[in-house]
Amino acid sequence: MVQLEVMAGGDWREAVRYDCAHGYAHRDSYNLQGARRKSDLNLRFEDALNLADEDIDDNWEVYKNHFLKGEHP
């Protein structure tokens, strides 16, 4: 599991999470209100992990800004 957390209202909140729970690789994105959007990655677990690391490293600031605006990152 790879997860980006954002400080909001004094608490760390999940904004983007990549994981393999439920037996398949997927990405969950959350908005400030806690609504979740799930996307199936259709990747092998190893490839999903590499994608997650690269995506969050490259895009964390964009995801943070979207999250704080109440949008899904």
Summarize pLDDT for 19-66 with one digit per residue, the tens: 998 899 999 999 999 999 999 999 999 999 999 999 999 999 999 999
> Quick check: pTM over 0.85?
yes
> What domain count does the chain have?
1
- Please write the tens of the pLDDT for every residue from 2-29: 999 999 999 999 999 999 988 999 999 9
Tokens 């964390």 belong to which residue? 60
pLDDT of residue 73: 78
Tell me if 73 is assigned to some domain.
no
The range of the structural domain enclosing residue 31 comes to 2-68
User: Order of strands across the sheet with 36-40?
Assistant: 2-8, 11-19, 26-30, 36-40
Burial tier of 18 (Cβ tally within 10 Å: 0-12, 13-18, 19+): buried
So what's the pLDDT on residue 72?
80
